Chains A and B, each alone.
Chain A
Amino acid sequence: MSLLKGLVARTRSVFAAHASEARMEEEFCFHLNMETERLVSAGMAPDEARRRALVAFGGLDQHREAMRDGRGARLLADFTSDIRYALRAIRRSPGFAIAVAMTLGVGIGVNGIVFGYVNTMLFRPMPVNNAKELVGVFTLDTRSGSPGLLAYQDYLDFRDRSGAFAGLAGETGVPLNLVAAAIGSAATADMIWGDMVTENFFSVLGMRPAIGRFFTAADAPRGGNPFAVLSYDCWRQRFHGDSSIVGRVVRINGSEFTITGVAPSGFKGLRTFGFWPEMFVPVGMHNVVMPGSKQLLEGRGAGWIYVVGRMHPRWTMQRTERAASVFAAQLASTYPGSNENFGVTLLPGGSGFDHPGFVKPRVLVLASAMGLFASIVTLLIICANLANMQLARAAARTHEIAIRLSLGCSRTRLARQLLAEALVLAIPGTVLAMMLVRLSPWLEQFLVPHLQFRVGLGPTSDYRVALFTAAVALLAVLLFALMPALRVTRPSLAPTPASVIGARGRGARPRSGIRGMLVVTQLAMSVVLLVGGTLFVRSLFVARAIDLGFDASNRLLLSVNIGLQSYDGARGRRFYDDVLTRTRALPDVVSAAWAFPVPFDTYGRGVGLYVASARTNSKNGTFSSNSSVVSDDFVKALGLRLEAGRELAAGDTSGVPRVMIVSRSLATRLWPGRDPIGQRARQGSASGPEVMVVGVVSDASFLSLGDQTPDRAYLPIRQNYREWQTLVIHTRGEPMTALPRIRAIVASIDPSLPPFGVMTMKQSVESGFSTSRMAASVAGFFAALALLIAAVGLYAVVAGSVTERTREIGVRLALGSTPSGVLRFIMSGGARLGAWGLAIGLIFSIAVAKLMGGLLYGLSPSDPVTFIVAPAVLAIVVLIATYLPARRAVKLDPIAALRSE
């Protein structure tokens, strides 16, 4: 603390120096004038009087200096000389300086990057006015306690009649087919994620547009105002930040919309977890944005709007919630039919919010916890190592320090000197760290795989990240500089001439004791990271070997959402048929089919199947199974194995009895011990239409690797129309080469329909590994880094002890020790540290591995291979790190060694 105070005082004295210097001169001048006048009035000649006054005053400069010293300018001078001295010391050992700067830079930078992600998830503020006043408003079933979304009519009543909020706005996420052209380029069609918002959305949030204007009351529902606001990122990326964007017309879901403005940078929608909306459209355009949503603005009770409210000034959340609940009770009694058990609940909304029923993905929480843990541990290792290097260097500099102490240099002065050195070393390290943090969005491309949509996660670098990084840097400097500085200058450790042979027992041990401990800590922590990394990487290999149940090679995927283009059933069927016929006619296409969802889609669908004899797992007495709606030929196109019965055919259409294909697991579950072919179930409920099993296919992984629910029913699209489908194409060669022709086919049928989610099945499967791969690369990176640093630390300790014991080794050799004996003797010290590190590390690893269980595919957290490989790797590293310096010891010339002191 006193260090900080000193620093503040010094800084202040620099600024104050100028003013006080002037005052000092004025005071001196006054004195001299008065004295001169006194002497003149006593009858002295003015020139002589002036001279005498000056003599009486004494050396002007001397007094000035004395005053400056008193002001603390002297401390500043000391400080600059400390820095100069530090720079000189560093210039003498540039290798050391570079190593420290790099290690520190990487350590701090990694912490900054990881914090950038956590910042995005937890602290990302919305660029809104007075964010503390914002709350998320959700319904609450007063009986079951389960939360939900408001209906539009209920929202209107709350907004206009409840008086509980100063303002209330709503939005819902919608997929949009966007056809737009940046200036000077051809129009491209793409499916993006947007928000349909109430017209007061931006004004309730209190946001200012980056360009243009937001919606006004004139854009209210049923106003039919085809206006759109772009997100800042969308404007920058899709329209190259074109400043004349306002007034531009784009096509959304087949209709023309005029862009009115651009949202401020950093606004990524209300939800913390979820897609980042690229475009905002008024709810008045719901019939275009969400075709077939005629009842959207009607109805009460259950709804679809994420509502954000601005509280009255100085109202607490409790008061607002009470007022809202009172009004909710009124609504419940006014509309007993729709609003039974109607209540509301609020969430703090300043940095965005999620549906209260939404459980944060365990994987994300775990991954971020792992990331933070790993990065902090890495930083600790780095600090420990730097402290070690400082200690080692200080040990080598004992001579210099001894001389300075004996010349009367005070302990604090010396400690300050060492601290100044640390600071000088930290500055390039911190600069490097900041550069790494700036580069993090670019690094992300390597660590995070491509997703269909951009998910609302990504590193941010704002003042919080900068502050955090700076705090970490400061902490690191204090940790790595202060401890050795204080230690080295401790009087009891002030170097004494080392005793010759006795050094083995007394002299050397205590000094390397603390360094040994640091090394053990580093090694233990790297064991933890090593075990974590190995588990992830192993899990990845195990997962790759899992049988997917379908063939992922030479398959191309391409999705469309024709519902957004307002297709009706007849036109949609025609579209699906046209695309299939023309695609299959291509020479390099083996087979093609429509299906949704396809394996590793982000989406799932279910179907209720009623079989009188079968167990049920849902309320209406049906068995709820996963389902896909598919076209004819899908078994071939997907490369599923047909185990019994037949493939779906073009003839399985409306007007004929409903049919389906089931997975092996579903067949066994519904009709255990019986031949599933020809069995019947009712679709949806006990009174639903009858559907007959015509085929059985292999179980396939759809949701993730090692999918635990392989029950799946495949329903023909001709009997179960869907608006969102994925074309699966089995190609003869490299699938991507067929893409342009397939795109051309779709475009020739409907030029404003954007295919999306274009990728090969291989890529899609890879994305199923994404979390695990990300975790593996992160953990692997940290583990390698930690191990490398720990190895350097161990090397430094062993090398240091070799240097310290040069004489002792010389004596041993001279007395007839064999080189191998000395080698063993030196290495055993390092090995002991290694063993301690390994033992402690393994204990912690077991706990950490248990925690990671949820992220591993097909691998037990106590995987024996991991617990053999990780210690083995460590052992090899320890061996190398101790052997290299030990070998140097063996090569010592005994005579020279004895003379070395």
Chain B
Amino acid sequence: MAARHPSESDPLRGSLDLLILKALSLAPMHGWGVGLRIQQISRGRLEVNQGSLYPALQRLEHRGDIESDWQSTENNRRARYYTITRQGRKALGEEVDKWKRFADTIAVILES
């Protein structure tokens, strides 16, 4: 049954949430914008499967890290905009710390 969760087998799982939160911490955005932003920040080095953003967004919203509502875009289309919540900012901070510690640890091991 675990096979039915594509996100679970995604190597970016966990870090995807982190990236989304980071992207949204800059400004509220719709899903497409989030994907674009991640690509821009990584300067094209990170190829995110765009569709997998949505289950992740849903998961984050369910957890209360982000909120969403329907707004119109500048060229007058209806889109769902996601906003990071206070809890989301806190989680982002913690995740970033954790990630850095983890990266440091790996770096220490690799350099030894």
Interface residues of A (CB under 8 A from B): 23-24, 26-28, 30-31, 33-35, 38, 56-60, 62-63, 65-67, 69-71, 74
B88 at interface, CB cutoff 8 A = no
Q: Which residues of A contact B4 (CB under 8 A)?
A: 65, 69, 74
Per-position binary interface string of chain B over residues 1-42, scored 1 when its CB falls under 8 Å from any chain A CB and 0 otherwise: 000111100000000000000000000001110011000000
Known: A27-B54, A62-B6. 14 other contacts (CB 8 A): A26-B78, A26-B80, A27-B31, A27-B80, A30-B32, A30-B78, A38-B36, A58-B50, A59-B6, A63-B51, A65-B4, A66-B54, A67-B55, A74-B4
Given A30-B78, A58-B49, answer yes or no on A66-B55 (Cβ-Cβ < 8 Å): yes
Of all chain B residues, the one with the shortest Cβ separation from A26 is: B78
Whether A31 lies near B50 (C-beta < 8 A) is: yes
User: In the complex, how many angstroms separate the beta carbon of B75 from the nearest chain A beta carbon?
Assistant: 9
B43 CB-CB contact with A under 8 Å:
no
- Bound together, the chains give a CA A119 to CA B85 distance in angstroms of 53
A67 and B54 contact, Cβ closer than 8 Å, known pairs A23-B80, A30-B77: yes
Do A59 and B51 touch across chains, with their CB atoms under 8 A apart?
Answer: yes
Q: Are A30 and B55 in contact (CB under 8 A)?
A: no
> Interface residue tally of chain B, by bracket?
20 to 34
> B50–A60 contact, CB under 8 A?
no
Say whether, besides A23-B80, A27-B80, A62 and B32 are in contact (CB < 8 Å). no
Decide if B32 touches A31 in the complex (CB within 8 Å): yes
Ordered nearest first, which 6 A-B pairs have the shortest CB separation?
A66-B55, A63-B51, A58-B51, A57-B51, A58-B49, A34-B32
Residues of B within 8 A of A62 (CB): 6, 51
For this complex, 12 residue pairs linking A to B, each with C-beta atoms less than 8 Å apart, are A30-B32, A30-B79, A35-B32, A56-B50, A58-B52, A62-B51, A65-B6, A66-B6, A66-B54, A67-B55, A67-B58, A69-B5
| B contact residues around A60 at 8 Å (CB) | 51
Q: Which of A33, A57, A70 contacts B50 (CB 8 A)?
A: A57
A379→B4 CA distance, assembly (Å): 44
Enumerate chain B interface residues (CB-CB to A < 8 A).
Answer: 4-7, 30-32, 35-36, 49-52, 54-55, 58-59, 62, 77-80
Complex interface: chain B residues within 8 A of A67 (CB): 54-55, 58
User: What's the minimum C-beta distance from A20 to chain B, rounded to whole angstroms?
Assistant: 10
B54: chain A residues at CB < 8 Å are 24, 27-28, 31, 63, 66-67
Nearest residue, chain B, Cβ from A27: B80
The chain A residue sitting closest to B34, CB to CB, is A31
Residues of B within 8 A of A56 (CB): 49-50
> What B residues does A31 contact at CB under 8 A?
30-32, 35, 50, 54
Nearest B-chain residue to A408, judged by Cβ: B1
State in angstroms the CA–CA spacing of A28 and B36 once bound together: 15
Q: Among the interface residues A58, A65, A71, which one has the most CB atoms of the partner chain B within 10 A?
A: A58
Which B residues touch A65, using CB under 8 A?
A: 4, 6
Nearest-Cβ distance from residue B8 to partner chain A, whole angstroms: 10
Q: Measured between C-beta atoms, what is the minimum distance from A77 to chain B in Å? A: 10
Q: How far is the CB of A609 from chain B (nearest CB, A)?
A: 90
| Alpha-carbon separation in the docked complex, A62 to B5 (Å) | 9
A59 contacts across to B, CB distance below 8 A = 6, 51
Q: In the complex, what distance in Å separates the CA atom of A74 from the CA atom of B1?
A: 11
Determine the residue in chain B with the shortest Cβ distance to A72.
B62
Query: A70 touching B51 by the CB < 8 A rule?
Result: no
CA distance A71 to B77 in the complex (A): 26
Q: Are B55 and A70 in contact (CB under 8 A)?
A: yes
A63, B78: Cβ atoms closer than 8 Å: no
Min CB–CB distance A649 → chain B (angstroms): 100
C-alpha spacing A58/B50, complex, angstroms: 7
Most chain A C-beta atoms within 10 Å of own C-beta, residue among B32, B51, B77: B51
Q: For the complex, what is the distance from the CA of A62 to the CA of B4, rounded to whole Å? A: 9
Measured in the bound complex, the distance between the Cα atoms of B55 and A24 in whole Å is 10
Most buried by A among B30, B52, B54, B59: B54
Let me know if B52 and A63 touch, CB within 8 A. yes
A12 to chain B, nearest CB (A): 14
Residue of B nearest to A20 (CB): B58
